[in-house]
Amino acid sequence: MNKNSENMSAWRRFLKSATKAHDLGTEEDIMLDHDYDGIRELDNVLPPWWLAGFYITIAASIFYYIMVLGFDKYNQYDELAEDIATAKEEVAQYKKDHPELFDDSNIVAFTDAENLAKGKELFNTKTCTACHMPDLGGGIGPNLTDNKWVLGGGIKNIFNTISKGGRPGKGMIAWENTISKLERQQIASYIISMQGSTPANPKAPEGDITWPEN
């Protein structure tokens, strides 16, 4: 023990024992014989706290290896499957508790000025005009003011087309994930309200579904 150790406080003695650090000025006692261009090496030992962490890591690794590979515990695939099953149950319960958000059987066309005005605004801002024109007379997409429909007219068919998208390969995307149910209902109602209007350059009728029937 260094002669200065006797005068150390209890805290400093604890730190010394925890780190195994040598006192300054005692380098000669732990100097190794190696000499690299005049650079000498000290034989310092690893701190006990570092060794403890190292051994704990080894023990934890062995435990993990045995439990996961040996006894098939804590399997991440099983845990994922359980999480997915739980999520499906929660979604099903949410749909059951909020049927109005997912049941389209009660969709009706709005006729009040406020909802129709909102539907017109959405029609013009959600890129509907890019294919159907601002007056709904049709461009890349069909004319929406005549009585011929490709996927069916009426509030439920139009609502479903907006929600699920148009025909494959024709460019119209499904909007159900980006536009709320109410907004889709408002757009569909606005389209219905424009039936029989006179666009500036109406596109020839498309589709073999007549709505409303004459």
Q: What is the pLDDT of residue 5?
A: 54
> Is residue 79 situated within a structural domain?
no
> Is residue 21 situated within a structural domain?
yes
Candidates 40, 48, 36, 42; CA nearest to 23 is 42
For residues 132 and 151, what is the distance between their CA atoms, to the nearest angstrom? Answer: 15
More confident residue, 170 or 3: 170
> Is residue 106 situated within a structural domain?
no
> Is residue 77 situated within a structural domain?
no
Residues in the chain: 214
> Is residue 96 situated within a structural domain?
no
CB atoms within 10 A of CB 93: 10
> pTM for this structure?
0.56
Q: For residue 187, give its domain range.
A: 113-210
**Domain of residue 146, CATH code:** 1.10.760.10
| Banded pLDDT at 6 (limits 50, 70, 90) | low
Candidates 187, 167, 75, 61; CA nearest to 125 is 187
For residues 19 and 24, what is the distance between their CA atoms, to the nearest angstrom? Answer: 14
> Is residue 100 situated within a structural domain?
no
